[in-house]
Structure 1
Amino acid sequence: MVLDRLLFLLSLWLGFVGATQAALSEPIPPSKDPWYTAPPGFENAEPGTVFRVRPAPGNLTSVIGNCSASYNILYRTTDSHFKPTWAVTTLLVPKLGPESLAQQKYQQSALLSFQVPYDSPDVDASPSNAMYDASDFFSNYYGAALGEGIFVSVPDYEGPLAAFTAGLISGYATLDSIRAILSLGLGFNTIDTPSVALWGYSGGAFATEWASELAVQYAPELVAGPVIGAVMGAPLPNITSCMRDVNGGPKSGLVVNILLGLTGQYPDVRKHLVSKLNDDGQYNKAGFLAAEGFTISEALSTFSGNINKYFQKGTDILSDPKITALINREGVLGYHGTPRWPMFIYQAISDEVTPIAATDAVVERYCSVGADVHFERNTLGSHDEEAGNSYDAAFQWLLDIFSGQRDTKGCVIKDVTRDVTGDVTRDVTREL
């Protein structure tokens, strides 16, 4: 009767939270869907407070494997100016019942917060809208976790302004999405505290890592209680290093999306950025700003070569003092608090998007202050390939911590050789 209880609780929330609508036959982009608004007076609520709940529109349960139900949840969070704002997360429910893995393995008390690398300054690219695409690579991640009986939360952590690579709101919105899910208890065992883990790759690892650093001050109850670990694949510890690495190559569009995402919460810096763009010519202001409505795929296919050609006299915009100051505030990790839960970090040594040296540096910093880190550096593969090459290792680490089988103490750094077959040769192990 667990499913009946789940539906009963949901009906209570649908009536209590208000401003909720009947399930839609098809999803509406967030920019056009009135559901994506906070109620009057939301600013007075505590972070993590739930304002709206609805069954996710359309056919999401048929797109994502092993999913018995899905819900959109709108909740209070905090922006990068430390002011109240809101965000949305999508809760995916595994198959329930007394014979289900969710019950038999975890007593329905395991939750994975998965941060998707949506990498876009367009709110309509948010996961709650984009995850309906059956070709989405990361839907395999959700399906695998659900198949193990784990609930999955997928937050739109960039917030309502789609502030891509704004670390503060990304971390806050991730943490508050966990608070929101736990406060609902939809389908969870409410007697025992649920166990929660985080996972993200690339831009999603950026949000996961910010959440891990900010949690000690912002959400200490999560540190002391339910969160048991975090997995980060190819994180972006330094946004400047990332942009300099990709600028001029096939992933130059990432620079455009980062600059627009970073300045989304900072009108003065956005105005300054726009003032530096060319008014006319082939590489002009209109072409650059078109990326405000681009997904990451669209940005990568549109922009190539050095992005500085869009700026007057070929200005190195990444050296601009106002841009640099904003990046230092929002895009550099290792300085906002020591993560207090165990971490599994993995990255290809030859990663062309986020330099391995930047990840090495932040891992060494964590280790020097007593964090529990397991870091695997893969001698094979690119940034994109590593998402598949180390998937099995990352997922197994998660399963181990959920089952209490992982010794997570201390700092271990390993060079591994791993390809898509999952074969591993361990080359070097350093325990710090």
Structure 2
Amino acid sequence: MLFLAGLLPLIGSFLPLVSGLPTSPSATIRPPSQDPFYSAPDGYETTRPGTILRLRRAPGNLEALVGNASAAYNVVYRTTDSQYRPTWSVTTVFIPSRPRPGNTSALLSYQIAYDSYDVDASPSYAMYAAPPVDVSIALSQGWHVNVPDYEGPQAAFTAGVLSGHSTLDSIRSILSANTTTATFHIHASTSRTALWGYSGGALASEWATELQQKYAPELRLAGAALGGLTPNITNVMNTVTGTISAGLVPGSVLGLASQYPDAYAFLLRQLKPDGPHNRTSYLAAQHMTLPEALAFFAGQDMYDYFRHGRATFLAPVVQHTILRDGYMGTHGVPRMPIFAYKAIHDEVSPVADTDALVQQYCGRGATIRYERNRVGGHSAEAINGHARALQFLASVLNGLYSPSGCTIRDVTVNVTDSAL
């Protein structure tokens, strides 16, 4: 019990802000691995990215669980994987109970940090157990809300290119929706769209911002709030191994490698067949949610699972994967205003990595407000930065934000007593 009491604040940093601890989803709602809806029809590969392939009213009472929503829909849409091959994903769209009047609609794309290599941890299913308070807050403002399963059908956790493509195409699908099944009443020509994510959710959001200009240039994004950024996957692995956050590693390794079959096969061959740190234990992460993985792997040196330890990840086939898909800032520069917030003492991702990313973008003409918090760590900053992120999002979605170059400053915001 003492261990779990110490673990819960950390778990909260990766899960959405919810009204209570997660419980099991309703038995009437089938998980993605068992629901035929989670599939793409034959020939979908020839459709354009963002095309709606399937659409349904979300089963059960999801809109009531979340609150402030008149309806919720699941959308299967065409997107593009990390190797620029056709794939598909699912998003959940919430219609506000009291939409903005006239043609002043706003859309918030809210990327939840689900940080798992298990497709059944996808937000479209997990939200039944843990309705995000942030979605309800956004809906109360009259905003439409998009919550994509941005890791795709393989739950490719940390695959940046796929996550960015999937996020952008979820927005495309919603803005173009006008079917006999549902019209979301979003005025694409006049609506403003913003992105928000923390930690794993910021990973997907950031990759969407840097890929947008080349991949989805027609999208007009008003801004993005990015909290607890993890710009360098290698440094995250090196930082969390042997700590209470070690459970992040196997899902991220397997998820990223799933986009590169040669790297995936190589890594599996390198796992030790027996001993206390063996292949079977490592691959158990395939069916774990983040809280389960954190509890199972806490304190372990995750490199001990591999025959050659850390050197395994220096192999050319692995480096190719990481260089293409694991480092932010390699695919473009965000062209919309960014609010980035990070704890200086972040114990999951070194603040220096985010400092370097922001400096890189600022040097290339980006508009960024970057606030480094002197107090708290990764978990605490999700709470400490919450109000500032909402304020920024309201400003850009209301057309009141006046961007002007880059501003970088240290702040002291202490909303929570958590030191993590």
Tell me the residue number matched to 1:60: 62
Aligned 8 A contact 1:170 1:211 in 2? yes
Larger deviation: 357-366 or 320-329? 320-329
What one-letter code is carried by the residue in structure 1 that aligns with 2:365? G
CA distance in 2, matches of 1:175, 1:71: 18
Matched, 1:199 2:193: no
Using the aligned pairs only, state the percent identity. 49
How many residues are paired up? 387
Paired residue secondary structure (2:323): helix
Question: How much does 1:140 deviate?
Answer: 1.1
Change (3 A) 1:320 1:306: farther
Question: How much does 1:268 deviate?
Answer: 1.8
Tell me the residue number matched to 2:266: 272
CA distance in 1, matches of 2:330, 2:272: 36
CA distance in 1, matches of 2:206, 2:391: 19
Question: How much does 1:407 deviate?
Answer: 1.3
Larger deviation: 44-53 or 300-309? 300-309
Unaligned runs of 5+ in 1: 1-23, 423-432
Tell me the residue number matched to 2:371: 376
Aligned 8 A contact 1:188 1:194 in 2? no
What one-letter code is carried by the residue in structure 2 that aligns with 1:354? S
Question: How much does 1:71 deviate?
Answer: 0.4
Change (3 A) 1:421 1:308: closer
What one-letter code is carried by the residue in structure 2 that aligns with 1:42? Y
CA distance in 1, matches of 2:308, 2:230: 29
Q: 1:123 aligns with which of 108, 115, 119?
A: 119
Aligned 8 A contact 2:383 2:416 in 1? no
Tell me the residue number matched to 2:109: 113
Matched, 1:352 2:354: no
Tell me the residue number matched to 1:343: 338
Question: How much does 1:283 deviate?
Answer: 1.4
Aligned 8 A contact 1:252 1:300 in 2? yes
Matched, 1:209 2:206: yes
Question: How much does 1:269 deviate?
Answer: 1.2
CA distance in 1, matches of 2:214, 2:40: 25
CA distance in 2, matches of 1:310, 1:146: 44
Paired residue secondary structure (1:414): strand
Question: How much does 1:335 deviate?
Answer: 1.8
Task: Provide Cα deviations, 1:360-401, integer angstroms capped at 9, x if missing partner.
Answer: 000000000110001010001110111011100000110011
Instruction: Indicate the structure (1 or 2) with the bigger Cα radius of gyration.
Output: 1
Task: Provide Cα deviations, 1:136-158, integer angstroms capped at 9, x if missing partner.
Answer: 5xx01111100111010000111
Task: Provide Cα deviations, 1:227-272, integer angstroms capped at 9, x if missing partner.
Answer: 1111100111111111111011011111111111111122221111
Tell me the residue number matched to 1:237: 231
Tell me the residue number matched to 2:253: 259
Tell me the residue number matched to 1:5: none
Task: Provide Cα deviations, 1:318-346, integer angstroms capped at 9, x if missing partner.
Answer: 33433222111101011211111110000
Paired residue secondary structure (2:304): helix
Task: Provide Cα deviations, 1:106-129, integer angstroms capped at 9, x if missing partner.
Answer: 745100001111111111111111
CA distance in 2, matches of 1:42, 1:164: 23
Change (3 A) 1:416 1:191: closer
1:23-42 alignment to 2 at 5 Å? 26-42=28-44
Aligned 8 A contact 2:271 2:307 in 1? yes
Q: 1:145 aligns with which of 138, 144, 152?
A: 138
CA distance in 2, matches of 1:120, 1:43: 26
Aligned 8 A contact 2:175 2:188 in 1? no
TM-score (norm. length: structure 2): 0.89
Higher relative contact order (CA 8 A, sep 6+): 2
1:29-428 alignment to 2 at 5 Å? 29-95=31-97, 100=98, 102-104=99-101, 107=103, 109-134=105-130, 139-185=132-178, 186-190=183-187, 192-222=189-219, 225=220, 227-304=221-298, 305-312=300-307, 314-420=309-415
Paired residue secondary structure (2:113): coil
Larger deviation: 198-207 or 259-268? 259-268
CA distance in 2, matches of 1:190, 1:204: 26
Task: Provide Cα deviations, 1:36-61, integer angstroms capped at 9, x if missing partner.
Answer: 11111101100000011101111211
Unaligned runs of 5+ in 2: 1-25
What one-letter code is carried by the residue in structure 2 that aligns with 1:144? I
Tell me the residue number matched to 2:5: none
Tell me the residue number matched to 1:9: none
Task: Provide Cα deviations, 1:63-86, integer angstroms capped at 9, x if missing partner.
Answer: 212122100000000011111110
Larger deviation: 323-332 or 45-54? 323-332
What one-letter code is carried by the residue in structure 2 that aligns with 1:214? L
CA distance in 1, matches of 2:188, 2:174: 15
Question: How much does 1:409 deviate?
Answer: 2.1
Aligned 8 A contact 1:108 1:150 in 2? no
Runs of 4+ in 1 over 3 A off after TM superposition: 189-192, 313-321
Change (3 A) 1:61 1:315: same
Paired residue secondary structure (2:218): helix
Question: How much does 1:188 deviate?
Answer: 2.1
Aligned 8 A contact 1:108 1:187 in 2? no
Question: How much does 1:192 deviate?
Answer: 4.5
Paired residue secondary structure (1:409): coil
CA distance in 2, matches of 1:190, 1:408: 24
CA distance in 1, matches of 2:354, 2:151: 22
TM-score (norm. length: structure 1): 0.86
Aligned 8 A contact 1:113 1:196 in 2? yes
Paired residue secondary structure (1:231): strand
Paired residue secondary structure (1:193): coil
Aligned 8 A contact 1:199 1:232 in 2? yes
